[in-house]
């Protein structure tokens, strides 16, 4: 895998040739540095500024996240772009129309599951539960290191009897129970793709295991960029969010 910046000559000529441009990105760990508590993560001002410049050169923008749609849209705060929340279970179109691919029953079920988790993990300090609608996240970044395995084991044993209804997802020091369904970041990216003009060049930036579905959705037609230690799921790599910012600046500059 190559650092995207080292291949810039080739990338710049693809940008110049493209009829239209679409920039899609994960939020946490890609645009914004990962915070100790999910509610503390913020979009850096210079990233917000470059997204504004990209929108001004008629680039279609989308933020694709495991956060809930409302939380994500509030945190980014740019109108008229795509937002994908809860790993594809919620999509806000640039028009402002929302689509949610789950039932209110699912939300009640996960609420009850949260009670089960809370009881089973009551003796482990630092666990944070976040109920995001069709997804229940158990964050253990603040749990002391020697007890993190215990969180994961307890999570798995509580969820075991419910496998018909939920599936497990693992992120960076977070375990998630998601309602069983076929939505993921890849299905969301395909919906966005279907709305784009032919010969649109798509960039996708992401650092999570769940971004791999999105990389597959742009393979062959777009430019997938894995952020952080490369695991081989995209064509290109970048080390961290500041490098992503640098590349967004280059795209805005070259597209003018
Ligand atoms: Mg991420």
Q: Give 96 Cα–ligand 1 centroid separation in angstroms.
A: 24
Q: Which pLDDT belongs to residue 1?
A: 83
Q: Which pLDDT belongs to residue 51?
A: 96
Q: Give 106 Cα–ligand 1 centroid separation in angstroms.
A: 24
Nearest to 25 by CA among 232, 205, 155: 205
Q: Is the dihedral of CA 93, 181, 86, 185 positive or negative?
A: negative
Q: Which pLDDT belongs to residue 230?
A: 87
- Whether 221 shows a pLDDT value over 90: the answer reads no
Query: ∠230-236-239 over CA atoms, to 5°?
Result: 50
- Whether 53 shows a pLDDT value over 80: the answer reads yes
Higher pLDDT, 20 or 220: 20
Q: Give 228 Cα–ligand 1 centroid separation in angstroms.
A: 10
| Domains and their CATH numbers in the chain | 2-101+182-255 (3.40.50.1000), 104-179 (3.30.70.1020)
Neighbouring residues of 205: CB distance < 8 A, sequence distance ≥ 6: 23, 24, 25, 26, 30, 31, 225, 227, 238, 244, 247
Q: Give 160 Cα–ligand 1 centroid separation in angstroms.
A: 26
Query: ∠43-206-71 over CA atoms, to 5°?
Result: 40
Q: Which pLDDT belongs to residue 15?
A: 95
**With bands split at pLDDT 50, 70 and 90, how would you rate the model's confidence at 36?**
confident
Taking residue 167's Cβ as centre, other Cβ atoms within 10 Å add up to 14
Q: Which pLDDT belongs to residue 63?
A: 98
> How many Å apart are CA 226 and CA 238, to the nearest integer?
6
Taking residue 123's Cβ as centre, other Cβ atoms within 10 Å add up to 9
> How many Å apart are CA 28 and CA 131, to the nearest integer?
17
Q: What is the mean pLDDT of the chain?
A: 95
Give the active site residues.
26
- Whether 256 shows a pLDDT value over 80: the answer reads no
> How many Å apart are CA 78 and CA 65, to the nearest integer?
15
Q: Give 32 Cα–ligand 1 centroid separation in angstroms.
A: 9
Query: ∠240-29-248 over CA atoms, to 5°?
Result: 55
> Is this prediction's pTM over 0.85?
yes
User: How many CA atoms does the CB half-sphere of 113 hold within 13 Å?
Assistant: 34
Q: Taking a C-beta distance cutoff of 8 angstroms, is the pair 168, 152 a contact?
A: no
> How many Å apart are CA 178 and CA 171, to the nearest integer?
12
Q: Give 69 Cα–ligand 1 centroid separation in angstroms.
A: 15
Tell me what the mean pLDDT of segment 23-40 comes to.
Answer: 94
* Long-range contacts from 72-75, C-beta under 8 angstroms, 24+ separation: 72/27, 75/27, 75/32, 75/41, 75/42, 75/43
Element (H, E) at 110: helix 104-120
Strands (E) across the chain are located at 2-3, 20-25, 59-64, 82-85, 90-92, 98-100, 128-131, 135-139, 166-171, 174-179, 200-206, 222-227, 236-238
Q: Give 190 Cα–ligand 1 centroid separation in angstroms.
A: 19
Tell me what the mean pLDDT of segment 141-145 comes to.
Answer: 97
**With bands split at pLDDT 50, 70 and 90, how would you rate the model's confidence at 238?**
very high
Q: Give 26 Cα–ligand 1 centroid separation in angstroms.
A: 6
Q: Which pLDDT belongs to residue 7?
A: 96
Q: Which pLDDT belongs to residue 239?
A: 97
Q: By CB neighbour count within 10 A (0-12 exposed, 13-18 middle, 19+ buried), where does 237 fall?
A: buried
Residues in the 5 Å CB sphere of ion ligand 1: 26, 28-29, 207-208
């Amino acid at each position: 895998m190559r650092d995207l910046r080292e291949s810039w000559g080739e990338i710049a000529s693809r940008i110049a040739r493209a009829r239209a441009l679409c920039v899609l990105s994960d939020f946490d760990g890609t645009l914004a540095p990962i915070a100790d508590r999910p509610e503390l993560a913020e979009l850096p001002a210079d990233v917000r500024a470059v997204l504004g410049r990209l929108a001004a050169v008629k680039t279609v923008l989308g933020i694709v996240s495991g956060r809930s749609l409302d939380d994500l849209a509030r945190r980014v705060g740019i109108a008229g772009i795509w937002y994908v929340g809860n790993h594809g279970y919620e999509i806000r179109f640039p028009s402002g129309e929302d689509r949610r691919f789950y039932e209110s029953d699912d939300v009640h079920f996960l609420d009850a599951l949260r009670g089960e988790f809370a009881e089973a993990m009551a003796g482990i300090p630092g666990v944070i539960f976040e109920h995001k609608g069709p997804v229940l996240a158990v964050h253990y970044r603040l749990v002391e290191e020697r007890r993190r395995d215990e969180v994961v084991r307890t999570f798995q044993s509580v969820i075991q009897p419910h496998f018909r209804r939920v599936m497990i997802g693992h992120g960076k020091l977070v375990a998630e129970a998601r309602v069983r369904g076929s939505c993921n970041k890849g299905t969301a990216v395909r919906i966005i793709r279907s709305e784009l003009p032919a010969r649109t060049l798509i960039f996708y930036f992401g650092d999570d295991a769940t971004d791999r579905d999105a990389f597959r959705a742009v393979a062959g037609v777009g430019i997938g960029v894995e952020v952080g230690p490369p695991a081989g799921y995209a064509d290109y790599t970048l080390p961290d969010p500041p490098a992503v910012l640098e590349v967004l600046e280059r795209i805005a500059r070259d597209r003018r």
